[in-house]
A and B are shown apart, each in its own frame.
Chain A
Amino acid sequence: MIFDYETYKVIWWCFVAVLLLGFALTDGFDFGVGMALPFLGKDDTERRVIINTIGPTWEGNQTWFIAAGGTLFAAWPLVYAAAFSGFYLALMLALFALFFRPVGFDYRSKIADPRWRSFWDWGLFIGGFVPPLIFGIAMGNVLQGVPFRYDDLLRLEYTGTFFQLLNPFGLLSGALGVAMLAMHGATFLHQKTEGAIADRARRMAIGAAVLTIALFAVAGAWAATGLPGYRITAMPDAGSVFMPPAKTVAVAAGAWMDNYSHWPLTLAFPAAAFAGALLAAALSAARRTVAAFLASGLSVAGILLTAGGAMFPFVLPSSLTPGHSLTAWDAASSHKTLAVMFWVVVIMLPIIVMYTSWVYRVLRGKVTSDHIRDNEHTAY
């Protein structure tokens, strides 16, 4: 093991962040394109153009989600267990929505009946709209703390309900999740299409970017001033082996701003969130489509890192028993497992990025109506 336990714990916070960012940045635009589908595609050919901009690659993108889930299980088993059993119904709804995508893409154009195709178009819309909404709501609730605690054998007890998740800050975060991925999907579509669809995507990108800025500003101001934050007051040495109940935690308004005052450089995260969205709007307006897409990605990454960075080392704060909150220090796997998984990520991640880039390069270029007509029977 080349690093000590504490270093691995920090590295693993970064790895989880990287995997979740990979998910948000790649599958994020698939979600956005799904949201756009029924509105930006006015007839069947246009809708097929939109679907085929992501058809060959969305599956690989979704794998970031699967890989993040598996990695969370291996490196942060307590988070995996607490987050998914706690948000049980919310996650089930997200899964049900995700079910529409694999079959929607593959089955939609295999039967010509317009009702059949329209059904799957709306299915793909649900698959694009609902997961970002739910993940956003979940993130908003994580920032507020979630009602759970552990017993002597470290069995988890969660006392919240599904409807408690639908509080104002949770819904605001949900809306932000939808807006930012709508922006991301629209900038992608703008860059992958031409003519009328591209024009509509451009307008959607500008609108969604402006909305993202507004929602992020409101959520940020709320989290900085009104929202109770969490702060560790005492805990065993970060490099030692301990479980969540071993520490004490205080709850105070504004505590989520601690990291930003300790390490002012982290203010780059919210700055990137704003600047990226502003640029995405401006560059879309100027029809600089590739740059707009990259700017939108910068904004999405900035928004997620703003939330994650504010909470560090917290991962899942407990509103019921703050001391039982899960942090990067006490929710991790053993030293040995973190070390083994370190190598898995260090070796596999560059390989994944390499072959994924190759696939995108092979499939580069715009998807057009002519392309759909020429590939009537093979395109999605």
Chain B
Amino acid sequence: MAPVDEVVALSRLQFGLTAMYHFLFVPLTLGLSWILVIMESVYVMTGREIYRDMTKFWGKLFGINFAMGVTTGITLEFQFGTNWAYYSHYVGDIFGTPLAIEGMMAFFLESTFVGLFFFGWQRLSKVQHLSVTFLVALGSSLSALWILIANGWMNHPVGAEFNYETMRMELTSISEVIFNPVAQVKFVHTVAAGYVTASMFVLGVSAWYLLKARDVDFALRSFAIAAGFGLASTLSVIVLGDESGYTAGEVNKVKLAAIEAEWHTAPAPAGITLFGLPNDKEERTDYAVKVPYVLGLIATRSVDKQVTGIQDLKKEHEVRIRNGMKSYAALMRLKSGDKSPEAVAEFKSLQDDLGYGLLLKKYTPNVVDASEEQIRLAVNDTIPKVAPLFWAFRGMVGLGILFLFIFSAAFYFLIRKRLAPQRWLLKLAVFAIPLPWIAAELGWIVAEYGRQPWTIAGILPTHLSASNVQPSSLYFSLAGFALFYTVLLVVEMALMFKYARLGPSALHTGKYHWEKQA
């Protein structure tokens, strides 16, 4: 029995909501932990107390954010089981492994040492404490590595094979799963985006102190570290955009075509559409502004390979769906007890298209009796709506270019020692604080919405993945998450503002702005 549409829709909404909430806190943890390592390293090397104060102050803000990261993170470890039970059964054999390794190798490290980061200052030597800070940073980036290996596998499922006896995907090669090219590109792009987020945060808050002429020495040093780290990170995010991974795997081709609103396959190297209005109905982009050659270069890293257009992809998918019907019929023959070598061989020859056959489950439970109209609907399902992807991607890239400008300008004026007169830049840095979060969330929309209609690309459709839970239970949990997370987010923001306003005076050392006045 497949879950009803309402359950699928609510489960998707809940997963999207909880994952996006979680990712409000993750990027800052990823990046700020390394910025703390840099600050504390300078302290250990030079012995100058201002760097210890910087580590402690930005560490306080780190802690406020980290608490929310943990709160929203617990949910995600269990939500595959609660809401995506069939998914968990179908791919747990592979997908569970990176999640388990994440817990044991990364999250344990991060969580065990984070307490010592805050409370170990008096009990540890300088080098010991720096090592603790380093292990927290290492743990958080390793954590991202394993999560993105899991996520990369959803987009490009390698190293696994379907087993008809257990009705699930099973691991064939752990190294293929770990060194999945899609996962590696995603990891570098995502952590670098986190480093950008944290750099912009430190840059913006420091710029605000500079504008107010408060704790200038403290702010300037923080600003300098953020500018350097931010510039390097922004360059890696842009150069190593995870779009470059989209040539691997069938479903990523769809994503790429949708991002570029590439309706027809254009001769190589394809041009990139800068702007335009994607029109799903007519399958064309109105008012398109195109730059020749660039897409082919970005996407295929070549001048002679083609980027497949949506219409051609649909034709390929129709073939695979028709094969998938045969594959499903062969599976049913095996299930009915006919395990003859011919029956097994027949299924093996067709099993790669089983997932496409399962797309029809949404329209007919028996799959094999699908009408032409139902096949047409399933083919249409294989292409997500183009406009959200097209715009989300452009929003993300546009913001990335803005970040590059801000960090470059900050870096330039800093080394020319002419930062103070550039009040426009300081103001821009303050207003840019929230933008990396928007860019990151847009990136996730491209990555995850762009994977629809699949949870596991080409293998398992989203509508089959959900648990058979009552809609009423889902309304309850969804309301609970929305309420808890929203209230906690407001509390978190209030504390962030409170401590950011206080600045290093929050450390009560007696050396900083608010304490001198009093």
A contact residues vs B (CB 8 Å cutoff): 55-60, 62-63, 65-67, 69-75, 77-78, 80-85, 88-89, 91-92, 95-96, 98-99, 101-103, 105-107, 110-111, 151-158, 162, 241-243, 333-334, 336-337, 340-341, 344-345, 348-349, 352, 355-356, 359, 362-363, 376-379
Contact = CB atoms under 8 A, between A and B. Distances in A.
Contacts of B113: 60, 355, 359
Contact of B103 (A59, A63, A84, A103): A63
Contacts of B118: 56, 378
B155 to A, nearest CB: 19
B163 A92 contact: no
Given A241-B166, A377-B507, A333 B467 contact: no
B116 A56 contact: yes
The 8 closest A-B pairs by CB, nearest first: A77-B92, A84-B81, A74-B96, A56-B115, A60-B112, A73-B96, A67-B103, A81-B88
A95 B78 contact: yes
B68 interface: yes
Contacts of B498: 110-111
A154 B88 CA distance: 11
Contacts of A377: 506-508
Contacts of B174: 336, 340
A56 B163 CA distance: 46
A55 B119 contact: yes
B89 A156 contact: yes
Contacts of B83: 85
B97 A355 contact: no
Contact of A243 (B67, B99, B167): B167
A379 B93 CA distance: 43
Contacts of B63: 106
Nearest to A89: B473
A77 B168 CA distance: 10
Given A95-B74, A154-B167, A103 B491 contact: yes
Interface string B475-518: 01100100010001001100100110000001110000000000
Contacts of B85: 81-82, 84-85, 156
A60 B335 contact: no
Contacts of B381: none
A105 B103 contact: no
A363 B116 contact: yes
Interface in B142-178: 163, 165-168, 170-172, 174
Interface in B70-127: 70-71, 73-75, 77-78, 80-83, 85-86, 88-89, 92-97, 99-105, 107-109, 111-116, 118-121, 123-124
A362 B116 contact: yes
Contacts of B94: 337
A70 B103 contact: yes
Contact of B123 (A157, A356, A363): A363
Interface string B299-341: 0000000000000000000000000000000000001000000
A277 B495 CA distance: 43
A89 B476 contact: yes
B64 interface: yes
Contacts of A82: 85
Given A67-B104, A359-B115, A107 B81 contact: no
11 contacts: A59-B115, A63-B107, A71-B103, A73-B95, A77-B92, A98-B74, A99-B484, A107-B64, A157-B468, A241-B165, A376-B508
B116 to A, nearest CB: 6
B88 A71 contact: no
A274 B468 CA distance: 41
Given A340-B97, A340-B174, A341-B97, A81 B124 contact: no
A332 to B, nearest CB: 9
A190 to B, nearest CB: 21
Given A73-B96, A241-B163, 14 more contacts: A69-B81, A77-B89, A84-B82, A91-B78, A99-B71, A107-B491, A107-B495, A110-B498, A151-B1, A155-B89, A243-B166, A348-B104, A359-B112, A362-B116
B20 interface: no
Contact-size category for B: 35 or more
A336 B170 contact: yes
Given A70-B103, A73-B88, A355-B109, A92 B74 contact: no
Nearest to B146: A70
A100 B102 CA distance: 23
B434 to A, nearest CB: 21
Nearest to A356: B112
Given A85-B81, A243-B167, A356-B112, A70 B100 contact: yes
A378 B115 CA distance: 12
A107 B66 CA distance: 11
B344 interface: no
Contacts of A359: 112-113, 115-116
B108 A67 contact: yes
Contacts of B78: 69, 84, 91, 95
A101 B488 CA distance: 12
A95 B75 contact: yes
B112 A333 contact: no
Contact of B167 (A66, A74, A153, A334): A153
A156 B85 CA distance: 8
Nearest to A57: B115
Nearest to B331: A153
B469 interface: yes
Contacts of B1: 151, 155, 157
Contact of B92 (A83, A91, A333): A333
A59 B96 contact: no
B123 A362 contact: yes
A352 B101 CA distance: 12
A81 B468 CA distance: 11
A153 B480 CA distance: 32
A251 B174 CA distance: 40
Contacts of B484: 96, 99
A377 B505 CA distance: 11
A105 B118 CA distance: 12
A132 to B, nearest CB: 16
B467 A88 contact: yes
A101 B111 CA distance: 14
Given A66-B103, A363-B123, A106 B67 contact: yes
Contacts of A243: 165-167
A75 B74 contact: no
B449 to A, nearest CB: 24
Contact of B170 (A56, A99, A101, A337): A337
Contacts of B170: 333-334, 336-337
A85 B484 CA distance: 21
Nearest to A379: B119
A59 B114 contact: yes
Contacts of B171: 333-334, 336-337, 340
A96 B77 CA distance: 14
| A62, A84, A355 interface centre (most CB from chain B within 10 Å) | A84
B477 A92 contact: yes
Contact of A334 (B89, B121, B163, B335): B163
Nearest to A340: B174
Contacts of B101: 70, 344, 348
Given A81-B86, A110-B495, A363 B119 contact: yes
Nearest to A80: B81
| B64, B93, B163 interface centre (most CB from chain A within 10 Å) | B93
Contacts of B480: 92, 96
Given A74-B97, A96-B480, A156-B89, A103 B335 contact: no
Nearest to B336: A152
Contacts of B95: 73
A374 to B, nearest CB: 10
B93 A333 contact: yes
Contacts of A344: 97, 100-101, 104-105
A376 B509 CA distance: 12
Given A96-B484, A242-B165, A337 B81 contact: no
